[in-house]
Amino acid sequence: MAELRVGIDVSPLELTEAGTARYLRNLIAGLEGVDVRRYSLPGRSRVAKVYRDTAWYLGTLPRKAARDRVDVLHCPAHRGPLRSQVPLVLTVHDLAVLRHPETFNRWTRRYSRLFLPRVARAAERVITVSAFTGREAVELLGVDESKVRVVPHGVAPPFEPYGPAAGGDYVLAVGTLEPRKNLPRLLVAAEKAGVELKVVGTHGWGDVDVDSIGFVDDEELARLYRGASCLVYASLYEGFGLPVLEAMACGTPVVTSNTGALAEIGDGAAVLVDPLDVDSIAAGIREARGRRDELQEAGLARAGRFGWETAAAQTIEVYREAAG
């Protein structure tokens, strides 16, 4: 079988250390037998972001891909061209910006409303990271269901049960500090459950007034997962929820939302709660702490079904479909 030449937009690595960046780094590392051409437009300023969202994605990027004669252009983070001579693959991680636009800044809301459906419909294939997000893509973006391919995230070391664990009695929340992560309710719920809440994550958009450890590397994050009595990830909306999988892989019980992709990923191995109800979250924390051994076993088994090698292999198959 001929070697695929794939152009991948790696600009998201310039902008975030969150789930999209983790997805991209692990995916590229697993693309065995693929000739990868990386494309990127650096810059974190507001001007740079607006330029990237418009001139780069709508013009410069597809021209570069055509010039380099790649077989497929993969845009892994919701931005992409409206027209491309090269077959386009788009990854959709979630559609929170369309379901909950009030939790995003004005530019992101406007861009996503005007361009994201058109980019998705222009793609030969749309990768979604959960079945839930696949259904959202069909409903909200108008994508033909036949184009959608579900390729879940994976998990890999250092997220494993054996290794150093942080000390103390605490529950852990992980994620960018932004409104949809529901952190103010988590703080109240942890207080009601009588336990300290530690928060890991960098500041995103919106006025979220909580104390956070900030960004930590993967080794330290795994140490914090192992030391926590449970992870509390009661987000208002997620397309996957990578911290749920990472915590399970570390042997940490999980409390997560009873809706959408989080219920799908938890799938019998997590305590599900109503993210809008502080008492429900507090009860979930108490339950998870009381069922630690049972949830640890179930979570490890669940996490074992997800791997980055599998995700990469499935993505290569999507590339081949798109390339024809």
CATH number of 170-303: 3.40.50.2000
CA distance 242 to 246: 6
Alpha helices in the chain (DSSP H): 12-15, 19-29, 46-51, 61-68, 96-99, 106-122, 131-141, 183-193, 218-227, 242-249, 260-266, 278-290, 292-303, 308-323
Q: pLDDT value at position 112?
A: 94
Q: pLDDT value at position 18?
A: 66
At the top level of CATH, the class of 4-154+307-323 is: alpha beta
CA-nearest of 287, 214, 298 to 252 is 298
Q: pLDDT value at position 179?
A: 83
Please list the rounded mean pLDDT of every run of 10 residues in the chain (324 residues): 88 76 92 95 85 92 97 95 97 94 86 95 98 98 97 96 96 89 95 96 71 89 98 96 96 97 95 98 98 97 96 97 95
| Dmax (CA) of the chain | 60
Q: pLDDT value at position 147?
A: 98
Q: Name the segment(s) of the chain with CATH classification 3.40.50.2000.
A: 4-154+307-323, 170-303
